[in-house]
Amino acid sequence: MQEVILARSAGFCFGVRRAVEMAQTLADSGKPYVMLGPVIHNQEVIRDLEARGVGCVDSLEALPPDCGVIIRSHGEGQAVHQRLREMGREVADATCVKVTKIHRIVEEASRRGRQVIIIGEAEHPEVKAIAGWCQGARVFRDVEELDGFLGEKDENHKKPITLVSQTTSTHKIWGPCREKVKKECTNAEIFDTICDATCKRQSEAQSLAERCGAMIVIGDKKSSNTTRLAQLCRTHCPLVYHISRAEELDRGMVSGVASVGITAGASTPGWIIKEVKVKMDENTNVMEIEESFADMLEKSIKTLNTGDKVTGVVTGITATEVNVDLGTKHAGYIPLAELSDDPTAKVEDLVKVGDEIETYVMRVNDMEGVATLSKKRLDAVKNWDTIETAVEEKTVLEGVVTENNKGGIVANVKGIRVFIPASQTGMPRGADLSEMIKEKVRLRITEVNRSRRRVVGSIRAVAAEERAAKAAEVWANIEEGKRYDGVVKSLTSYGAFVDIGGVDGMVHVSELSWSRIKNPAEVVSVGDQVSVYVISFDTEKKKISLGMKDRDQDPWEKFTSTYDVGDTANVRVVKLMTFGAFAEIVPGVDGLIHISQIADHRIDKPGDVLEEGQNVDVKITDIDHERQKVSLSIRALLNDARTAVDEDEMEQDGEDPEFVGV
């Protein structure tokens, strides 16, 4: 038995259905209307409308007096709309919303002095209408024709290019043209205006043609959409028949073929498809076929209402919106601003063509056949449930700080504003909270009032819990000598407190450096990343003593390897006492200059001669290796210098210093 398969997307697209329904409604209204050109490319539909009283004329001059005008789905140029306004005619614009969008694109491009290029058939009504909304548009069928234009060096070629496509073109034609312009032209604007419904129809037809021994393509011979379907099917199937209606079909054309596929152009009404299907499938109960088509029709014309939750399939992604097939007569689209509440998210990371997506209906325009959708708002509804659950389950959520105000900051958490009081931000009292804007934060929801849309959260609560968990881990594994990377949290006169991961330890001023320092600020600042090691700890009192000095660099060894008794050194006075002055010889090793060794005469106190921070030359008079103490003397150097001067004077007088006084 022969298998007959009907393509799912066969028949009217939403734009054609809208145009036909608009014309039928006007016909039933009793007011006189005429079509300015066939409203769609299907003679059977045009005959039906004429029988209902809606005639068709080819020009403005042929319009009957005192009647309204229906603009066909392919659209008309700007001049035609202007002329109709001047004539005072009532106009019903049945232009496909996709085509109208192209009109706006090229009109704006022309206003900015750009060169508009249209990829399509120059004589097609849709292309003529598009060209009628801009100045000096150029039309090319394929990349070969386009290449010739790009090679020209005239004035128009110097203009920045805006590239669009006829809605019924194919990606096989459009793709090379788009890539050519990208490669050859700088500052080009490229808009992929092939209708997503057309793409879906063509893809399904090709897939069906690959599986079937014969294909029947139904549609008017003047329909560009249907003609392209037939061309595409012929590349995959040996037997392809393009017919307008069932009378043209002969069963003998497909006899002996195991499977026959049926598809139809966007301008083909369902009743013609049904006639062909019935004739092909003579063994099938006609009532069952009619019920099947009734179901399909019901699905295709189901209404949408603002606030509905709907599921569709992503069919296209442009620079401004995501196109969604809802399986209805409406063209669904999501403005990019309604796709996600994350301003940094990239569209390509969120959705891809072919993805099933659940959205919220923001607005429905039945006249234009368009439904404006929002994924962000549907997510927000779901996210309220998540927020409320987070309070009960004490879930930690992530958000981004968006603003600060007098009482705290506001974070965006899953598209919902969450207020965080200043005391719960984790910042010090009086800190500039504006520094947190754009910062990603982790917080816990503490209060939710959905009716008032009020949500309160706390960053501090999460930070405290995380710090407690880290502290427990530190105390469980701490041991003397263990090293940690920490952060300086605060400074005191006697040392620095360092956070080693949830626990603060204290580095005494004497453990900050081998050099003698008066204030910890001489070595570290709050916020510094430092490496420390554990000197001692008390688990019960929760106290930790830390060190920063490198124990591997013993300053005493450095001193003894550099100096010996009798050597002269330049030292820095670090502390004055009543009995003398301590001076740093090398970092970590101080020596004592006794008050009796500061000068070669009697002084009352060290401050009479020295001051802290002063550098002086001294003689090392003694080194106590066992107690690591060093004695220094300025007086010894002065005596040495005086003796040297006396010896020089005696040599000049001719005396031998060794025999003086003998």
What is the CA angle 366-372-375, rounded to 5? 145
Q: Is the dihedral of CA 552, 553, 555, 556 positive or negative?
A: positive
Within 8 A by CB and 6+ apart from 382, the residues are: none
Q: Are 104 and 86 in contact, with CB atoms under 8 Å apart?
A: no
Dist. CA 391–CA 404, nearest whole Å: 23
Q: Which residue has the tokens 């603009």?
A: 71
Instruction: Answer left, alpha or beta for residue 219, where phi above 0 means left and psi between -120 and 50 means alpha.
Output: left
SS3 label, residue 630: strand
Q: What are phi and psi of 360, to 5 degrees?
A: -115, 135
Taking the alpha carbons of 322, 325, 331, 334 in that order, is the dihedral positive or negative? negative
Which run of H or E residues covers position 200? Answer: helix 196-211
Nearest one of 127, 151, 129 to 140, comparing CA atoms: 127
The backbone torsions φ and ψ at residue 285, rounded to the nearest 5 degrees and listed phi first, read -60, 125
Report the run of H or E that residue 348 belongs to, with start and end: helix 347-350
What span, in angstroms and rounded, lies between the C-alpha atoms of 561 and 357? Answer: 77
3-state secondary structure of 17: helix
76 counts as catalytic: no
* Count of helix runs (H) and strand runs (E) in the chain: 16, 32
Residue 15, C-beta contacts closer than 8 angstroms, at least 6 positions apart = 73, 96, 97, 98, 99, 195, 197, 266, 331, 369
d(CA 176, CA 488): 61
145, amino acid identity:
E
As to burial, measured by CB atoms within 10 angstroms (0-12 exposed, 13-18 middle, 19+ buried), residue 561 is exposed
**Closest among 5, 489, 1, 471 to 261, alpha carbons compared:** 5
Question: Are 300 and 21 a contacting pair, CB within 8 Å?
Answer: no
Would strands 416-421 and 408-413 be described as parallel, antiparallel, or unpaired?
A: antiparallel
What region, left, alpha or beta, does residue 641 occupy, with left being phi > 0 and alpha being psi -120 to 50 degrees? alpha
3-state secondary structure 488-556: EEEEECCEEEEECCCCEEEEEHHHCCCCCCCCHHHCCCCCCEEEEEEEEEECCCCEEEEECCCCCCCHH
Which residue shows structure tokens 């097939």? 325
**Backbone conformation region of residue 28, classed left if phi is above 0, alpha if psi is from -120 to 50, else beta:** alpha
Which of 44, 61, 90, 126 is catalytic? The answer is: 126
Q: For 428, which DSSP code? A: P
Angle at 243 between CA 242 and CA 246, to 5 degrees: 145
Cα–Cα dist 91/68, whole Å: 6
Quick one: tokens of 597?
A: 């060794």
Catalytic residues: 126
